[in-house]
Structure 1
Amino acid sequence: MAKSLTQPEIDAFKARLCEVAERRFAEGGVASVSMRQLAEELGCSPMTPYRYFRDKEDILAAVRAAAFDRFADAMENAGTGIEDPIERARASGRAYLDFAFSQPNAYRLMFDMSQPDDGRYPELQRAGERARRTMGAHLEMLAERGQIHGDPQVLSYVVWAAVHGLVVLHLAGKLPESPDFRTIHGEMMRLLVQGMRTPPAPAGDTP
């Protein structure tokens, strides 16, 4: 009779499975990875992963949810103990870049175009929303203090889109050596901050 696993053993197996899946999905894409391949690398029966996940899309959703949680953890921890919202936002921004460049496989999978329907995966939906709220929290505080202008939620997406686009270009090797990433990032943030600090033009003044 097969030995029943304890809950810690089950959790450890699922974590290891997600770790292997993250690397293989990032290296070869979702279509190139099968449940059998994952089981072979883990040294278990091909049916074992099905005890805990419906299919590889279920595994991928779990991998992405875990990555979004680590991403949010990194940004939240970076701002811990910093009272000034501007300095907290800067620390969070540095944590964003550190995560993307230290865990590129996870970062690519988080934003892969072949995303599942989040509604089918509540944990993925929760983790993704948590990451978005973490990025927007500093802007909400700055807006409340009148230090920036505009809808903080809209601004959070604008900043996210800009930073994400630059990170993806860097990970894809599409940026030059000079000016380097830091120089381009610094100029981009200068323009974004300048824009957020500028009150919107009165209605009718826009050409």
Structure 2
Amino acid sequence: MPRYLTDKDIADFRAELCRVATERFARYGYDGVTMRQLAEALGCSPKTPYRYFRDKADILSTVRAQAFARFAETLEAAGASATSPIDRMRRVGGAYMRFAAEHPHAYRIMFEIDQPIDGSNADLARESDRAHRLITRQSEELAGAGLIDVDPELFGWSLWAASHGVVMLQKAGMLQHGPDQRALAEFLGMTMMRGAAKVKK
């Protein structure tokens, strides 16, 4: 007679499956991972993962949503104690760099996996938008304080692009003999701030 699974059993298995899937997707990409491989890594039958997720795409969407949620929580916590819009920008920027360094698998599946972020997975769409809105909100605060004179949404996206570029240079080993990545990211941010303060709409 099969053992009855409690809610905790189900939650624990899903969490472990997501942990293994995050690592595998980050290392091998979406096409390099199969449901059978995930089952083998978990020591269960090939059909077991299908009891918890529809398919491989569903697992990827779920782990990406979880990664974006942790990412947004990290940035929100960093900016919560800021004393000014510029201080918030610096704190959030520093947290961005730390998250990328400390959670490389999560960072990769957020930004290096080719999977559309659309309405097909509500959790993924919500959590990725949460991260975007946080960065845009910072720019709106800078504009509201008269510190930048450009479109705040474009400025927020530009800050994000600059931060991501620094992370990717670091991951590629290009900063090994260059500046510290956090120092470079802050330099870019402050240089963009000075430029945006002088531009007239």
TM-score norm. by structure 1 comes to 0.90
Conserved? CA contact 1:65–1:124, under 8 Å: yes
- Structure 2: where are the runs of 5+ without partners? none
Change (3 A) 1:115 1:161: same
CA distance in 2, matches of 1:68, 1:117: 12
RMSD (CA atoms): 1.6
Change (3 A) 1:198 1:144: same
Q: Which 10-residue stretch deviates more, 53-62 or 74-83?
A: 74-83
Letter in 2 for 1:87: D
Q: Does 1:101 align with 2:114?
A: no
> 1:118: how far off?
2.3
Determine the structure 1 residue equivalent to 2:150.
150
SS of residue matched to 2:100 = helix
SS of residue matched to 1:161 = helix
Identity of aligned residues (%): 47
Determine the structure 2 residue equivalent to 1:168.
168
Q: Residue by residue, what CA displacement relative to the aligned partner does 1:93-135 show, whole Å, maximum 9, x if unpaired?
A: 1111000010111101101241135221111111100010111
CA distance in 2, matches of 1:41, 1:93: 36
Aligned residues: 201
Q: Does 1:70 align with 2:70?
A: yes
Conserved? CA contact 1:67–1:106, under 8 Å: yes
Q: Residue by residue, what CA displacement relative to the aligned partner does 1:111-166 show, whole Å, maximum 9, x if unpaired?
A: 12411352211111111000101112221112112121122111111111111112
SS of residue matched to 1:194 = helix
- Structure 1: where are the runs of 5+ without partners? 202-207
Q: Which 10-residue stretch deviates more, 140-149 or 185-194?
A: 185-194
SS of residue matched to 1:118 = coil
Letter in 2 for 1:79: G
Determine the structure 2 residue equivalent to 1:114.
114
Q: Could you list the structure 1 runs, at least 4 aligned residues long, displaced by more than 4 angstroms after superposition.
A: none
Q: Residue by residue, what CA displacement relative to the aligned partner does 1:144-203 show, whole Å, maximum 9, x if unpaired?
A: 1212112211111111111111211111212341344344334322321112212325xx
Conserved? CA contact 2:93–2:163, under 8 Å: no
Letter in 1 for 2:131: A
